[in-house]
Copies of this chain bind each other. A is one copy, B any other.
Amino acid sequence: MAACSLESGKTMSYFTHYRDHVGARPDKFHKATLCEGQFLMLGLNCLEPGQAHAVHTHADQDKVYIVMDGVGWFTVADERQEAAAGAVIWAPAGVPHGVENRGSERLNVLVGMGPAPKKKG
């Protein structure tokens, strides 16, 4: 039985480690999907210094960020906070949120979304 089907069409094990999904892109922050089901998705976003995910809103999805490495400058609604490893940032459905890496190290942040984003195409 496939543990999980990813956008790539690959399946994943029930067990993984977030560090195995870290990456970097020069043009835009790196995203990886660690697991994805009918109700829930866990991804990893990696932001190099200076990269950002602009403030946006999901009408029908709750999101939670968990900072693993680095420091993020998070916005949720009208609150703004720096958050480092172990911080949990909650962006419920309908609430604008975003993150910037204003630091000097890569920011690795796990992102849980329920339900999983709809596939494109």
**Stoichiometry (number of copies):** 2
Q: Which residues of B contact A55 (CB under 8 A)?
A: none
The count of residues in chain A whose C-beta lies closer than 8 Å to any C-beta of chain B is 45
Q: Judge whether A14 and B62 touch: CB under 8 Å.
A: no
Q: Which of B3, B61, B88 contacts A90 (CB 8 A)?
A: B3
Chain A 47-83 near chain B by CB (<8 Å), digits 1 or 0: 0000000000000111110101000001011010101
Q: Judge whether B14 and A40 touch: CB under 8 Å.
A: no
19 new A-B contacts, CB < 8 A, other than A16-B90, A34-B90, are A1-B95, A3-B95, A12-B90, A13-B90, A14-B89, A15-B81, A15-B88, A18-B88, A19-B86, A35-B90, A37-B92, A38-B62, A39-B93, A40-B62, A40-B114, A42-B90, A42-B112, A62-B114, A66-B110
Q: What residues of chain A have their CB less than 8 Å away from a CB belonging to chain B?
A: 1, 3-4, 12-19, 34-35, 37-40, 42, 60-64, 66, 68, 74, 76-77, 79, 81, 83, 86-93, 95, 110, 112-115
